[in-house]
Structure formats: structure tokens, C-alpha cells
């Protein structure tokens, strides 16, 4: 046994935040959340894991598999922000996606509380849904 194994044994692992015996918000192996800082490299790795998990879960949804890669990325971006259940709540958008009516699907995206809460993101993703193309990079 080394010090890492000993601490792991004593602390136990928790994947989600919890309050320790003193009420301090903690995660992992007893790491206080208020003391956490992560590198951009670790944040990118966490992003990659989450996106891969979303792709695997979304792949089981019939209409998702029929989308081109740009429109799949739109749905993945929305699911990253809203969760898969949040995206599945866009019933009108999904109905238009199933009929490949990209313009009406984009309109349905923009006619939502989500678009009011994050308007720049919603406008960009709706444009991608409408055209099936990535936006031009700023010059």
C-alpha cells in the first residue's frame, strides 16, 4: 500500500458532489470543491469525455443517426448545455428534424426559453441546423 491507496481507502470515492461530516462540499476522494482548480488541459479532457458519452447516448435515438455531422454537432452542443432530456423536450424541433425541414426545426429552436436564455448560442446553432454548415470563422 502507498499513500495514495491509503487516502483512497480512508476517503472513499464519490463521483458526485456531497457534503462531508462538517458540511463542506466535497467530490472525488475528499477534495473540497472550494479549493479546486483545474488546468485547461484537464478541463479539455473532461469536455472530451462528456461529449463522447453524449454521442454514445444520442446514437440510440432514431432521428439522431439520420442527421449529417453538422446537425449532429448542433444536437450534441444542445445536449451538453441542456442534457439529453432537455433536448428531447424540443418536441416541435424534433418533429421538423424527422421531416428534414431544417428551417422549421431552426425556428422551433429559436422559439424557446433556451433561446431567450442563451441567444447568441441559440442563433448560431439554429443557423447551423438551417444550413447544415459550420459558420464562417471570424476574420
C-alpha cell at 90: 424540443
pLDDT by residue (tens digit) across 6-40?
A: 889 898 999 999 998 889 999 899 888 888 788 88
Straight-line distance from the first to the last Cα atom of the chain, in angstroms, rounded to the nearest whole number: 56
Residue 43's pLDDT is what? 84
The answer, yes or no, to whether residue 123 has pLDDT greater than 90, is yes
Q: Where in the chain is the domain with CATH 1.10.530.40?
A: 40-131
pTM for the full predicted model: 0.81
CA distances, 96 to each of 33, 61, 86, 100 (Å): 42, 15, 17, 6
Q: Is 40-131 a CATH 1.25.40.10 domain?
A: no
Q: Most distant CA pair in the chain: distance in Å? A: 61
The answer, yes or no, to whether residue 139 has pLDDT greater than 70, is no
Task: State the average pLDDT over residues 60-88.
Answer: 96
C-alpha cell at 130: 438551417
- How far is residue 57 CA from its own chain's centroid? 11
C-alpha cell at 14: 464519490
Residue 35's pLDDT is what? 83
Amino acid at each position: 500500500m502507498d499513500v495514495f491507496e491509503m487516502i483512497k481507502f480512508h476517503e472513499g470515492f464519490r463521483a458526485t458532489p456531497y457534503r462531508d461530516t462538517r458540511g463542506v462540499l466535497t467530490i472525488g476522494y475528499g477534495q473540497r470543491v472550494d479549493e479546486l482548480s483545474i488546468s485547461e488541459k484537464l478541463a479539455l479532457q473532461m469536455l472530451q469525455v462528456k461529449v463522447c458519452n453524449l454521442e454514445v447516448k444520442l446514437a440510440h435515438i432514431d432521428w439522431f443517426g439520420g442527421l449529417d455531422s453538422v446537425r449532429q454537432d448542433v444536437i450534441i452542443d444542445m445536449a451538453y448545455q441542456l442534457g439529453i432530456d432537455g433536448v428531447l423536450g424540443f418536441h416541435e424541433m424534433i418533429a421538423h428534424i424527422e421531416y428534414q425541414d431544417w428551417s422549421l426545426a431552426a425556428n422551433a429552436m429559436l422559439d424557446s426559453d433556451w433561446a431567450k436564455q442563451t441567444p447568441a448560442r441559440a442563433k448560431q446553432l439554429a443557423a447551423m441546423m438551417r444550413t447544415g454548415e459550420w459558420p464562417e470563422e471570424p476574420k
